[in-house]
Structure 1
């Protein structure tokens, strides 16, 4: 069995792998150890072949689909290290390694940086060096991806609440607002806008007044040398929904009669992205969006807008 130097690794992981040895979990995740002579399972060798998602990140797992699992040593105590994932973007989780493995195996984490869907998986560990059978999820149901569930793995839980949506929509002059925007504010109920690392999602009660303010500015200054876009309440006009600390503005393009298909347009690029507002947030916070905010990994306690997920700060 592998030997883990005292204090150099999270104790829960060291205890687990000291009991089981290195191997492939659920047919898809290689769990690595130090000093392993089996190809593909030695921590130091595998890390040398990769670009870490953070200068101090330490590798511990590799998925068959290519994504990687790391520790982010934000504290002198390894028990308080964050789990970091690198794949289609990067994200960090304030879970211990074994908490992460338990919840991932149970299909409870819809992780946007992973290509694998959130489904329960068989709790099998194939020892390093043995043939790995094709992975078969414990559930026969294909996993579906949910942008709000993905966002919750990044920013943690919210406080639920309700709004008088019909009154808000009537004031705006729209048949209805996108369902994902409503779910976002019903999940993260607030008297003010939702702020995520310098991105300000406009509050439902302020949508109408903020749109008027930003639309007036856009009419006078916003389009520059690019083509002019119609602005709500013009038919199919842009409707303001968010802004950033860097003074970018985000708008729904309302040309589609179905509000759930309204793409996001920003004045920073004269293009529109086929994202909903929550899909936009997930992309920005994992580093695969429009680069309108910083998506670096690090210790949230040092950030101006701390983001902890999927748990509240401990």
Structure 2
């Protein structure tokens, strides 16, 4: 039926659609020096030209090539441990751009699946936290697909360390409903949003962006105890194209940083430790669970077995 996101294929023509880490390990374990010497992982769609390849070396190890022209990335390394290669490949792929992919067969987005693996959760597609289309209509704003998938899987709470992702929450003693998203958005506009709007009114140099609900304005989605905040810059009609903007309080008045990627890919970047600027966000890179949100209990009357209160 075809892959939703990417495909792994070896020299013998054997392939796996949207492979898990275990499936990649199996393909790598089947390599030999005769007729099956490499495995390639690449996007299923033609729009992307990124790929990762693993080939046997004469010394008995593996050469790993990771190439993504969209970000001028081209790395070549050698490794002997199949388990490490498979894990690193899956997490690298999770950070590629899958904008516009829908997951036809209930396949969890690779970027959100990567976050799940780091957090120690099974990367399995979850049922919706709430009826998103109706909730977004009531709230008057559409949100990115990776955020919706993240909330469906993780539910309310922090990801790791200090950073907390803002999520819809139920009223006390009631299951979560359509109005939860509207309450969340209004709270962000009247809380964090109002503070940055006042900052902009005091001096545009302190806040160089408009603030939601102004067109193209900042809409917050995460923060920490230090007063750092992550926003979407709501430019254009497609929320999946919104860049992430970070304000680091400790860098005042030059604490603004823009990242042209979605929320989930941004979190993977922060978790990778490859951008020292993001160290202050308090997103930990350890694989040991640290305040990882629990899966949702079943809500009374919920239609999904994974509904959260």
TM (norm. structure 1) is: 0.50
Q: Any idea what the Cα deviations from partners look like across 1:75-95, whole Å, max 9, x if unmatched?
A: xxxxxxxxxxxxxxxxxxxxx
**1:115–1:257: structure 2 CA closer, same or farther, 3 Å change rule?**
closer
Cα deviation, 1:41-96, whole Å, max 9, x if unaligned, reads: 7xxxxxxxxxxxxxxxxxxx6634334559xxxxxxxxxxxxxxxxxxxxxxxxxx
Q: Deviations over 1:193-238 (max 9, x none)?
A: 3422222111033343133210111123477843442111112211
- Offset at 1:257? 1.2
- Say whether 1:63 aligns with 2:59: no
Residue 252 in structure 1 maps to residue 232 in structure 2: yes
Counterpart residue number, 2:162: 198
Between structures 1 and 2, the one with greater helix share? 2
Which of residues 172, 187, 193 in structure 2 aligns to 1:215?
193
Residue 171 of structure 1: how far off its partner (Å): 4.4
Work out whether residues 64 and 78 of structure 2, in 8 Å CA contact, stay in contact via their aligned partners in 1. no
Q: Does 1:281 align with 2:267?
A: yes
Counterpart position of 2:258: 272
How far is the alpha carbon of 1:297 from its aligned partner?
Answer: 5.6
Deviation at 1:260, TM superposition (A): 0.9
Matching residue of 1:157: 122
- Does the 8 Å CA contact 1:250/1:267 hold for their aligned counterparts? yes
The 3 A distance-change label for structure 1 pair 64 and 114 is farther
Distance in 1 between the 2:233 and 2:94 partners? 29
Q: Distance in 1 between matches of 2:225 and 2:33?
A: 45
- Equivalent positions of 1:62-81 (< 5 A) are 63-65=63-65, 66-67=76-77
* Structure 2 spans left out of the alignment, 5+ residues: 1-31, 39-53, 66-75, 97-108, 169-179, 249-254, 294-309
Distance in 2, Cα, partners of 1:253 & 1:232: 9
CA deviations on 1:17-48 (whole Å, 9 max, x unpaired) are: xxxxx9899443569xxxxxx9x67xxxxxxx
After TM superposition, the structure 1 stretch with the greater mean CA deviation from structure 2, 198-207 or 255-264, is 198-207
Structure 1 stretches lacking a partner, 5+ long: 1-21, 32-37, 42-60, 71-96, 117-144, 308-314
* Residues 187 and 296 (structure 1), Cα distance of their counterparts in 2 relative to 1, 3 Å cut: closer
Secondary structure at the residue paired with 2:148?
Answer: helix
Could you report, residue by residue, the CA deviation over 1:247-290 in whole angstroms, capped at 9, with x for unpaired residues? 21111111211111011112224342111110111111111344
Kindly indicate whether the alpha-carbon contact (under 8 Å) linking 1:109 and 1:153 is maintained by their aligned counterparts in 2.
Answer: no
Q: Summarize the Cα distance change of 1:237–1:207 in structure 2 as closer, same or farther, 3 Å threshold.
A: same
Q: Which has the larger radius of gyration?
A: 1
Q: Given that residues 110 and 149 in structure 1 are in contact (C-alpha distance below 8 angstroms), is that contact kept between their aligned partners in structure 2?
A: no
Relative to structure 1, is the Cα distance of residues 184 and 228 closer, same or farther in structure 2, using a 3 angstrom cutoff?
same
Alignment of 1:31-180 (within 5 A): 63-65=63-65, 66-67=76-77, 100=83, 104=86, 110-112=90-92, 146-155=110-119, 156-157=121-122, 160-162=126-128, 163-174=130-141, 176-180=142-146
Over 3 Å counting, the alpha-carbon distance change for 1:208 and 1:68 in structure 2 is farther
1:298, 1:271 → 2: CA distance? 24
CA RMSD of aligned residues (A): 4.1
Q: Give, in whole Å, the separation in 2 of the partners of 1:231 and 1:115.
A: 28
Q: Which residue of the partner structure matches residue 126 of structure 1?
A: none
Are the counterparts in 1 of residues 220 and 232 from structure 2 also a CA contact under 8 Å?
yes
- Cα separation, 2, equivalents of 1:226 and 1:180: 29
Are 2:221 and 2:231, in contact at CA under 8 Å, matched by a contact in 1? yes
Distance 1:114 1:277 in 2: 12
